[in-house]
Structures are given as structure tokens and as C-alpha cells.
Amino acid sequence: MQGFDPEYEKNIERSLEWFSKKTGYLVGEEEFKQIDLMGLRRIFGITDSFVLPEGMTALEYDAAGYDPYMIYCYAVDEKKAKELQKYVKHKIKVDKYNYKVGAASRSS
């Protein structure tokens, strides 16, 4: 894929995080092991290009809300939860928890 940087991508880990609907506190998280960035982009409908538009800096691209590497947090609705369930051991319970997909830098 044009503009995709595998060196950058290998340093990012993505996980499913769940929060108590009562308190909003983080209850748990599980790193995705069986789905890659392209699979997550498909589920969340992310089509942002890995190539910066002509005349736009990386900082401007980020400030405009573009997120091709999915480093922001993404809320998980019931439809997405059904798709994500096959990639985590945690039994997703959208009636009990609020879910999001988050990203962090891998520790060396």
C-alpha cells in the first residue's frame, strides 16, 4: 500500500478496552493478536490515505483528524463488537460495558 510504513506500524499495539457503564472506570483490556491494521481499518471504515496530500505537513494531516494508522481511540458499537469478538478471548458484553479500540507504543 502506497505510503504505508511497516517500521512505524510494527511499534504500535492495538487493544480492546472495556469500561464500567456505572463508573466509567477501565475494567480490562486485551491486545489484538489475530487481526492486523488493515482488518481493523475495514471494520471501522477507515479509508484515510497513508500518503500526505500535496502541500500538507504530517502535523496538519494529524490536526485535520486523519488517522490511517488508527492511533486514536475508536468507540465500539454492537455491530463492530460482533466482528471483533472473534479476535479476543474476552466475552464482549455491550449491555454491561462500554468498549473502545485503543493504540499504544510497543515497549522495547
Q: What distance separates the 2 farthest-apart alpha carbons in the chain? A: 46
The pLDDT value given to residue 87: 97
The x, y and z cell numbers of residue 20, run together, are: 464500567
Backbone angles phi, psi at 18, to 5 degrees: -130, 145
Rounded CA separation 76/94 (Å)? 9
pLDDT in tens, 77-89: 999 999 999 999 9
pLDDT in tens, 35-57: 999 999 999 999 888 888 888 88
The x, y and z cell numbers of residue 53, run together, are: 496530500
Rounded CA separation 40/42 (Å)? 5
The pLDDT value given to residue 65: 84
Q: Which residues contact 87 (CB under 8 A, 6 or more apart)?
A: 16, 32, 33, 34, 35, 39
* Residue 26 and residue 98 in contact, taking contact as beta carbons nearer than 8 Å: no
Could you give all domains of the chain from N- to C-terminal order, each with its CATH number? 6-105 (3.10.50.20)
